[in-house]
């Protein structure tokens, strides 16, 4: 049987205020549950401009129509406009996700700073980043997070070790094909990694002339029988300008009898299957600017 988890990354304030309600309406209409992961701290989206010299960044911006997806205000936060603290401005929208029966988890404190400067930050800075994210999550939901997924599928030995202290049921910090325990400094850690297994809309959109409908068909064809399938989407895209295409994708899941479940629901079965231990490495993947962490 084909089974899929929908991983919803919430990166920005705009994605929280407008994208979350839009996705909740679509998921409710199709009677599906998803796993939502929130960026909780300052929205420094404007600082992503420093990626301009990164290989593939400008071509991706043009190919995906990033200005239309994210909007001018978002692209100025943290530069010409102050960076708003997302969880204080969008607490109601975040709580609505949990009230609707979806899974809630952590994506980031400061998404852009982590994404762009991960390897330049000290262990002290990273520890504070994790602590702030978890504190904010508990402020919003009054519960501890069960799962967390890193920005842009990026991690390093320090983040994996720091994450251990939070005793998560799972994390999603990389790309891969099946669940595993990460090896750091020759030791297998106890936090299960559940990677994203499928390419994303923004990685495929515009490549070789592919439109949203083409991407939907490609993703459907890549979903494997009796295997881990995790599809990542973003409130800013699938909950915004690409909402109609995503609604069509959800309808296709129903038509193809593909079961949809949350990662929290799936995680106990993944653990029971005695997943292997693996080293996490890095590589570039088609359609994304810069490296991502991948299971070796």
Number of domains observed in the structure of the chain = 1
| Structure-token match 């000290």, residue found | 122
Q: Are the C-beta atoms of residues 83 and 259 closer than 8 Å to each other?
A: no
Asked if the structure places residue 159 within a domain, the reply is yes
The predicted structure's pLDDT at residue 51: 45
Q: Are the C-beta atoms of residues 278 and 180 closer than 8 Å to each other?
A: yes
Q: Are the C-beta atoms of residues 11 and 234 closer than 8 Å to each other?
A: yes
* pLDDT less than 70: residues of the chain: 48-72, 78
The predicted structure's pLDDT at residue 57: 45
Asked if the structure places residue 26 within a domain, the reply is yes
Domain that holds residue 42: 3-173+196-274
Asked if the structure places residue 181 within a domain, the reply is no
The predicted structure's pLDDT at residue 77: 75
SS (H, E, C) the chain: CEEEEEEEEECCHHHHHHHHHHHHHHHHHCCCCCEEEEECCECCHHHHHHHHHCCCHHHHHHHHCHHHHHCHHHHHECCCECCCEHHHHCHHHHHHHHHCCCEEEEEECCHHHHHHHHHHCCHHHHHHHHHHHHHHHHHHHCCCCCEEECHHHCCCHHHHHHHHCCCCCEEECCECCCCEEEEECCEECCCCECCECCCCHHHHCCHHHCCHHHHHHHHHHHCCECCCCEEEEECCHHHHHCHHHHHHHHHHHHHCCCEECCHHHHHHHHHHCCCCEEEEEEEECCCCCCEEEEEC
β-pair type (181-184, 147-149): unpaired
- Tokens representing residue 98 in the block: 């949990």
Asked if the structure places residue 292 within a domain, the reply is no
φ/ψ bin of 288: left (φ > 0), alpha (ψ from -120 to 50), beta (otherwise): beta
CATH number of the domain within which 63 lies? 3.20.20.370
The predicted structure's pLDDT at residue 289: 84
Tens digits of per-residue pLDDT, 4-62? Answer: 999 999 999 999 999 999 999 999 999 999 999 999 999 999 876 554 445 544 455 45
Tens digits of per-residue pLDDT, 254-274? Answer: 999 999 999 999 999 999 999
β-pair type (291-295, 277-284): antiparallel
Asked if the structure places residue 42 within a domain, the reply is yes
The predicted structure's pLDDT at residue 142: 98
Alpha-carbon span 191 to 181, nearest angstrom: 6
Asked if the structure places residue 186 within a domain, the reply is no
Cα radius of gyration (the chain): 18
Asked if the structure places residue 247 within a domain, the reply is yes
The predicted structure's pLDDT at residue 207: 87
Query: Within 13 A of 209's CA, how many CA atoms are on the CB side?
Result: 0
Asked if the structure places residue 114 within a domain, the reply is yes
């Amino acid at each position: 049987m084909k089974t899929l988890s929908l991983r919803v990354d919430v990166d920005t304030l705009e994605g929280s205020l407008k994208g979350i309600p839009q996705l909740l309406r679509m998921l409710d209409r199709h009677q599906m549950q998803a796993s939502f992961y929130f960026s909780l701290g300052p929205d420094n989206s404007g600082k992503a401009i420093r990626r301009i010299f990164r290989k593939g960044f400008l071509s991706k911006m043009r190919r995906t129509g990033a200005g239309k997806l994210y909007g001018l205000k978002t692209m100025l936060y943290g530069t010409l406009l102050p960076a708003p603290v997302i969880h204080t401005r969008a607490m109601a929208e975040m709580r609505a996700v949990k009230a609707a029966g979806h899974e809630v988890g952590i994506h980031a404190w400061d998404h852009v700073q982590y994404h762009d400067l991960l390897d330049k930050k000290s262990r002290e800075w990273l520890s504070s980043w994790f602590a702030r994210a978890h504190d904010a999550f508990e402020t919003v939901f009054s519960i501890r997070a069960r799962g967390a997924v890193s920005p842009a599928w990026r991690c390093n030995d320090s983040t994996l070790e720091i994450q251990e202290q939070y005793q998560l049921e799972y994390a999603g910090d990389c790309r891969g094909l099946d669940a595993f325990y990460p090896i750091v400094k020759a030791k297998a850690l106890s936090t299960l990694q559940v990677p994203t297994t499928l390419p994303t809309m923004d990685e495929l959109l515009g490549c070789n002339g592919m439109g949203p409908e083409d991407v939907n068909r490609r993703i459907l064809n890549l979903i494997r029988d009796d295997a881990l399938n995790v599809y990542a989407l973003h409130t800013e895209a699938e909950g915004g300008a690409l909402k109609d295409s995503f609604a069509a994708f959800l309808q296709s899941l129903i038509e193809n009898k593909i079961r949809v479940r949350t990662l929290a629901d799936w995680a106990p079965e993944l653990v029971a299957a005695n997943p292997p231990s693996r080293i996490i490495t890095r590589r570039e993947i088609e359609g994304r600017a810069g490296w991502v962490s991948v299971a070796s």
